[in-house]
A and B are shown apart, each in its own frame.
Chain A
Amino acid sequence: MSHISTTVNRIKNGEVTARSVVEAAIAKAESTQQYHALLSMTEARALARADGIDARIAKGEAIGRLAGVPFVVKDNFLAFGAPTTAASKLLENFDAPLQATAIEKLEAEGAICIGKANLDAFAHGGSTENSAFGATKNAHDPTKVPGGSSGGSAVVTALDVVPFALGTDTGGSIRQPASFNGVVGVKPTYGTVSRYGVVAMASSTDTIGCFTKDVADAELVMDVMSGRDRRDMTTLPDFFAVQKTAKSVQKIGLIKEFMTDQVDPEVHARTMEYVERLRAAGHIVEEVSMPIVQRTLAMYYVIVPAEISSNLARYDGIRYGLRTKNPQTLAELYGRTRGDGFVTENKRRIMIGSYVLSSGYFDAYYLQAQKARTLLIDAYDILFDTYDVLLGPVAPTPAFGLGENTADPVKMYLADIMTVPPSLAGLPAISVPAGTNTAGLPIGVQLVGSRKSDAHLLALARSLEAN
């Protein structure tokens, strides 16, 4: 039985109260403050909600599937009880007037949000070092990055502060920190979970998913969150249904281009061990070639900045958020507010976006990248005609050092090279722990499936976990 189901049963049976479970999570959050994983706590609201659940139990009323289970959300989810900052000065004091649909759905099942996790400002980054409020530290080695951009959510899950945390994944922002901290990370099929009430980054690849300690917990959380939302017109009709057992004898393709000598030897070794476990379980694993993946990061760093430059135009200092003091003109109000409110990486991406969308450059960059994206999707379609699942590492290396890549944006971007292809194709991809390196740093493998095969992927990952 999963961690979450065990907790819910204990609360339901009266072995523990929802209040005591929530208080323990808050205490754990306080005792792990040195990791700087959380930007704020929603303590008062959390305790009131816990008391509400305990009162329902006392009266013999029905409680939800997640009753009394504490969780944390990345601080780009609009939530009640604390500001929604997106780890930026721009939204430092933004008190959201509404909650994200994903949170509303979890709350409807009795889950209790206790706090908000650190991220790269506006989710731009792969190390959580771009937070305007300081970096988060890796759960296994405080000199290393936690990955990003959902670094704080990964760390609170790894440290057992909460059994699950929410993140967003646009190009790897759940999978890579999950890998760096040794937890399960799920990026669903594009359109699975409503993004209403979540700070937008790149609308054609933004997804919402979760971090958990085991696959069964992830299945439960995804089952609750998925489905149509009339406030996010890109959501798909609910297709997610937990698959009890994995299909026997699956054909799995190991992507050759992600297993070169450019990959850290221990990442390579842990991935091959996972391959052996799949084979031992009766599955067929074959090496496959997908040359287009080598160009995907270039597509990503055209398409995503273009969408960022459009999405972040809304932060203008007029209706909410930071506004610069005493502007003389409207242009000054915009320019200074945005100059002060965004971190350097936000500015880089907005300006790259402005560049690739400019007349004269549009065809060579943006249009070419969107055509190349079609080639990527075609390459996946061909492989999924033969293979059930595609496999590879999550990232070329385990967690790197704090400060190691900050001076070189392109080097930082290369950490995303294995996670961006499924994002651009809208495919489900999960990161599962596959051991550690000799220094004890976690290493994850990535399983990628065809569209809407999320439950299938998770069932396969769960079947190997039990081995």
Chain B
Amino acid sequence: MTDISRDDVVHLAQLSSLELSSDEVDALQADIGNILQYVQQLGQLDTTGIAPTYQVTDLENVWREDQVEESGIAREQLLALAPESANNQVKVPRVL
């Protein structure tokens, strides 16, 4: 198993904005270690001088006119999806 400490898992959870229970941290420590161990075989491939592939469409710079268009979706519809709203805006907890 790849050396992933409990602190590493807690740090990853924080980076990922995930609040985990103590049991979840234990289980994920084992799972993530096993998965990382499996993917480490990639290190055995010689990729010297090989360019990475980030996309497979062969498309480049798909342009469109920078024009304002109606989306057909009303502000009220989007606000209705928000867990909380007030004064015609999405409400969030105090940040500062």
Chain A positions near chain B (C-beta within 8 angstroms): 94-95, 97-98, 190-191, 204, 230, 233-234, 236, 292, 295, 297-299, 301-302, 309, 313, 316-323, 327-336, 338-339, 342, 344, 347-348, 350-355, 358, 364-365, 367-375, 377, 408-410, 413, 425-426, 451
| Contact flags B32-63 to A (C-beta < 8 A → 1, else 0) | 10111011111111010011111111010010
Q: How far is the CA of A33 from the CA of B58 in the complex (A)?
A: 44
Q: Are B31 and A348 in contact, with the CB atoms below 8 A?
A: yes
Question: A277 to nearest B CB, angstroms?
Answer: 31
Asked if A426 meets B45 with Cβ closer than 8 Å, knowing A301-B35, A338-B18, A374-B51, the reply is no
Q: Are B53 and A377 in contact, with the CB atoms below 8 A?
A: yes
Residues from chain A with Cβ under 8 Å of B82 in the complex: 318-320
Q: Are A350 and B18 in contact, with the CB atoms below 8 A?
A: yes
Residues from chain A with Cβ under 8 Å of B81 in the complex: 94-95, 97, 319-321
Instruction: Verify if B84 is at the interface (C-beta below 8 Å from A).
Output: yes
Q: Are B52 and A318 in contact, with the CB atoms below 8 A?
A: no
Q: How far is the CA of A318 from the CA of B84 in the complex (A)?
A: 8
Residues from chain B with Cβ under 8 Å of A410 in the complex: 34-35, 38
Instruction: Verify if B88 is at the interface (C-beta below 8 Å from A).
Output: no
Residues from chain B with Cβ under 8 Å of A365 in the complex: 39, 42
Question: Which residues 72-96 of B sit at the A interface, judged by CB distance below 8 A?
Answer: 72-73, 77-78, 81-84, 90, 92-93, 95
Residues from chain B with Cβ under 8 Å of A318 in the complex: 82-83, 90, 92
Q: Are A370 and B41 in contact, with the CB atoms below 8 A?
A: no
Q: How far is the CA of A334 from the CA of B51 in the complex (A)?
A: 37
Q: With a 10 A CB-CB cut-off, give which of B19, B36, B55 has the most chain A CB atoms.
A: B19
Q: Which of B24, B45, B53, B64 contacts A295 (CB 8 A)?
A: B45
Interface residue tally for chain B (C-beta within 8 Å) = 49
Considering the complex, give the chain B residue whose CB is closest to the CB of A94. Answer: B81
Asked if A230 meets B93 with Cβ closer than 8 Å, knowing A372-B47, A410-B38, the reply is no
Chain B positions near chain A (C-beta within 8 angstroms): 9, 12-13, 15-20, 24, 27-28, 31-32, 34-36, 38-45, 47, 50-57, 59, 62, 64, 72-73, 77-78, 81-84, 90, 92-93, 95
Q: How far is the CA of A334 from the CA of B54 in the complex (A)?
A: 29
| Other 13 A-B pairs with CB < 8 A, given A94-B81, A355-B12 | A97-B81, A292-B45, A302-B39, A329-B93, A330-B95, A332-B19, A351-B9, A353-B16, A354-B12, A368-B45, A372-B45, A408-B34, A413-B35
Question: A313 to nearest B CB, angstroms?
Answer: 8
Question: B41 to nearest A CB, angstroms?
Answer: 5
Q: Are B62 and A233 in contact, with the CB atoms below 8 A?
A: yes
Q: How far is the CA of A354 from the CA of B14 in the complex (A)?
A: 10
8 residue pairs, one from A and one from B, having the closest CB atoms = A426-B56, A335-B19, A370-B52, A323-B83, A371-B47, A339-B19, A320-B81, A334-B17
Q: Are A204 and B20 in contact, with the CB atoms below 8 A?
A: no
Question: B17 to nearest A CB, angstroms?
Answer: 4
